[in-house]
Structure 1
């Protein structure tokens, strides 16, 4: 037979459990009695509600309304979309007697992945922070932006204003004055950014395919000597082509890029960007440009980030495609090849003018007072060799001065 139970201990434990059960029942009765007293009015109490966060447009008699419209490209198909956005919000605001139009802020042909280049958007937020706007209307979250960090940061900035400024996203039917929409806005913002990333990948793949087939239309906007006609074909600009030929002829005959730059500046010929002076770096870039012999090299640079769109030189990062005889040449291939040989050899550096000849165009000045006292002002047009030569002369003068001081002592 099994060992006998400790009856006394077991009964005490059961008694304690009964006591706990009795206490629970007693607590229930107390709660029920308290609620009954509250409802019968025997106990008096009131609710103290927190102050409701009123948005400016909810309390103003005349709501100052702004609208924001944006399309990411300036293509013809999106021009219509852009104009429709503007006209739509103009009509919405005009037809609402409680609305007072502040301004319709616009960014046409600018990506929504970054706030940096969206001047219209920046102006709108500045005006909102200055207290000029009560409510902002926009078509959708993707029109407002495609960067989740920018979207949420901007909405938080507007919400923290006193009084806060609300944003109404028409397509989603969301108004930021309703705190319940915060999670939905976060999710939709993330989706807008993801959509932008997917579009960026698809566009890049399409561009690279056209590069691979030699069909990509590269820009010649800043390429002196060329332009695109109405059909998109690359054509030679005769007047500018003379400048290009002058540069190549001068260089292959022994002139240095600096000398060519000085000559063009003295002749009053403007640079590709319309500047009154030429830099030797500009001359070297022209001499290196394969387009002048009729070829084209695709993907010299690439975009590192789809959000910032910052570009970097393609140094063995991505494949490049080189197509010969892509368009009319300004320079014969033999001359272009000779220019590349001279650039690679660096022989042109030997023709730099000595320092004495430069004094005619610039007088070296020494700063006599202020923070830069004792420093020398140098000509920005000087080459590295000229600067080094000047420093050697200054060092020689300093050594002579030090020797003279030692003899005097």
Structure 2
């Protein structure tokens, strides 16, 4: 249906053509709001004798794609399904229909409406959308101009954002754990701290980052200490933080991803980095190479020392490195030369070695990997000796504990399937043997894994000496204080670990001791 025959003389007649209006505003600060668009559309409808029976409005939506524009999607759906009770769609201008980067996409949605017998009219344009060659040419130019405007605006905005980054100002996104966003005016005077969800109101204001409360900055430093000094991975750090009931800046549990964000983001050493990921013009999300990043070093006050941060990055790069088969064999050969034997546990516990699963995947099995360096597992006498010692030590300590507690008047029930001890029907305990792992840097580590299925009240961790040939000391670890699946101990540990360390098991025996009650005379 054409609108050419509907002129201003129809104003006095009763409206006979039903119409729907579509309005879109990309931001709330748009020069022409949806109200202004409606005023122009209603004026057009009055002069043409059209009755507006339905409104489709996309508030604060970009015109680059139809994704997220629920009103336009519903409009197209109503048209295609035959549910549309109108014959005309009124739009302010071509750009409000959309700034699609492919002009044919804009034309397609109009074609869908025209195919259903519904015309699209652009109220503020100087041409009549009547299907004539002239209107078709003008629409094509207008659509291309609308898309080009978005491209030019995107380039200008990006250039402005890059300039602000180089000046040390923050561009978008939450501050992150341990940091806070601070609002400053054009003279650099601080105006206040921005809470979560708050934004600046004046265009001349700027946002910078500063360290958050001491409790959070201390946790950030602990994360780096655990990662570097205790060799904990992201999963173990997240478990430890959750066990300490520490929440993220979004009040959620810690995960591998949130820990990794703290360990890899340069904002913790005061650097302002931008354009690591691009999503320009609502197209494909692209992860940019470091040479495309925009950065300003020393823009903010740091939380972590630079040498600590870059040490963590070096560990991550070494861990993520993909080795060739030749490199894997050479590392395995060096390990065999140093240790004199090989095993999956030895490979996994050696600092700087790829995991045993990597060797299994590349060579089909560990045996085949061993054969490349001339090692036969049957000759692993030293490792077998250590295993034999551990198999003897475990039942010896269990039997010794049962006897000592019985001598002190207590009762012990041992589960033959799990070796869990129930003491005096009051608490349960189980024994864990921790081997000593010697890293290339000479440091020693003991990894203690808690049994998540048995959930004993107290885990007795027995640390072996550096040669794994004798008992070094004992840790009595209550489940209420250690909720994480594993912990890592060093030669020197923090007070929260050392307070549970004992040279003997006398303290455990004392917990089970029974005192005789004197009779009242």
Q: What is the CA distance between 1:356 and its match in structure 2?
A: 8.5
Q: Which residue of 1 aligns with 2:268?
A: 292
Q: Which residue of 2 aligns with 1:69?
A: 24
- Retained in 2: the 8 A contact 1:256–1:352? no
d(CA) in 1 for partners of 2:52, 2:38? 16
Structure 1, unaligned runs of 5 or more: 1-52, 362-381, 383-409
Structure 2, unaligned runs of 5 or more: 7-13, 185-206, 320-350, 356-436, 438-444, 456-484, 486-521
What are the Cα deviations for residues 286-307 of structure 1, in whole angstroms up to 9, with x where unaligned? 201110111122332234xx54
What are the Cα deviations for residues 301-323 of structure 1, in whole angstroms up to 9, with x where unaligned? 234xx54333312225x533432
Q: Secondary structure at the match of 2:282?
A: coil
- Counterpart of 1:151 (choices 72, 81, 106) is 106
- Retained in 2: the 8 A contact 1:220–1:227? no
Q: Which residue of 2 aligns with 1:113?
A: 64
Q: Which residue of 2 aligns with 1:191?
A: 145
d(CA) in 1 for partners of 2:160, 2:245? 43
- Counterpart of 1:139 (choices 92, 95, 101) is 92
- Give the TM-score, by structure 2 length: 0.49
Instruction: Give the number of the structure whose alpha-carbon radius of gyration is greater.
Output: 1
1:88 aligns with 2:61: no
d(CA) in 2 for partners of 1:174, 1:240? 61
What are the Cα deviations for residues 206-247 of structure 1, in whole angstroms up to 9, with x where unaligned? 333444x33553224162233323432323332654543342
d(CA) in 2 for partners of 1:90, 1:182? 21
d(CA) in 2 for partners of 1:93, 1:244? 61
1:333 aligns with 2:285: no
Q: Work out which structure has the larger RCO, using CA pairs closer than 8 Å and 6 or more positions apart in sequence.
A: 1
Q: Secondary structure at the match of 2:23?
A: strand
- Counterpart of 2:171 (choices 208, 218, 235) is 218
d(CA) in 1 for partners of 2:294, 2:225? 28
Structure number with higher helix proportion: 1
Q: What is the CA distance between 1:151 and its match in structure 2?
A: 0.7
d(CA) in 1 for partners of 2:107, 2:235? 51
Q: Secondary structure at the match of 2:226?
A: helix
Structure number with higher strand proportion: 2
Q: Which residue of 2 aligns with 1:234?
A: 209
Q: Which residue of 2 aligns with 1:122?
A: 73
CA gap of 1:323–1:54, structure 2 versus 1, over 3 A, is closer
- Retained in 2: the 8 A contact 1:93–1:101? no
- Retained in 1: the 8 A contact 2:2–2:119? no
Matches within 5 A, 1:305-320: 306-315=280-289, 318-320=291-293
- Retained in 2: the 8 A contact 1:114–1:150? no
Matches within 5 A, 1:319-398: 319-346=292-319, 357=451
What are the Cα deviations for residues 37-63 of structure 1, in whole angstroms up to 9, with x where unaligned? xxxxxxxxxxxxxxxx579x9898351
Q: What is the CA distance between 1:167 and its match in structure 2?
A: 1.8
Q: Which residue of 1 aligns with 2:160?
A: 206
Tell me the matched-pair count.
298
Q: Secondary structure at the match of 1:157?
A: helix
Question: What do you get for the CA RMSD once the two structures are aligned?
Answer: 3.9
What are the Cα deviations for residues 316-363 of structure 1, in whole angstroms up to 9, with x where unaligned? 5x53343222112222334323333433344598989799846569xx
Q: Secondary structure at the match of 1:117?
A: coil
Matches within 5 A, 1:37-48: none
CA gap of 1:279–1:154, structure 2 versus 1, over 3 A, is same
d(CA) in 1 for partners of 2:169, 2:89? 40
- Give the TM-score, by structure 1 length: 0.60
- Retained in 2: the 8 A contact 1:290–1:297? yes
Q: What is the CA distance between 1:175 and its match in structure 2?
A: 4.8
